[in-house]
Amino acid sequence: MNRTNFIASISISIFSLFSCTSNEIGNSKDVNPEAVFFDYEVWAEEDKEDVTVNLQYRMGGKNGTTLVLDEPSKVILDGEQLKVDSAKVTGAYYEVQRPLASFTGKHTINFTDVKIKNITRSLHSRLFFLSPMFLQH
């Protein structure tokens, strides 16, 4: 593959990856709480000792505008209130890292909307390992 085709392939891949979801940021106070879409991701990486929990709230479905939770809205993971952060690529999000070794079992996400309605979601996690035989080419 020549250099021009390689650069074009990379450019198209990056565009496709980030064009699927909105990085716009809105405020939860401006949205009907019933229309808020919950998007939760949990992941860990090989040779890392932490697990990452990323929570996003969106208006307009899974590809909609990301939301900053305005008081009294909030999100709490296992008793810890999460703070908003943002990035140009992903928009507003709530993220926390926890030690992988202690992240097994049940976890609770409590979301409070602007009308002070509480919604609780549970997730269960367990450690697993891939056999070195599985990882061989």
pLDDT tens per residue across all 137 residues of the chain: 555 444 444 444 444 444 456 788 988 988 889 989 999 999 988 788 899 999 999 998 989 999 999 999 999 999 999 999 999 889 999 999 999 888 889 999 999 999 999 999 998 887 666 566 655 65
Type and span of the H or E element at 125? strand 118-125
Would you state the pLDDT for residue 101? 85
Q: Are 49 and 97 in contact (CB under 8 A)?
A: no
Provide the Cα torsion 12, 18, 19, 23; round to 10°: -160
The alpha carbon of residue 72 and the mean position of all alpha carbons in its chain are separated, in whole angstroms, by 21
Q: What count of other Cβ atoms lies within 10 Å of the Cβ of residue 4?
A: 8
Would you state the pLDDT for residue 22? 72
Helices then strands, counting H and E runs in the chain, come out as 2, 10
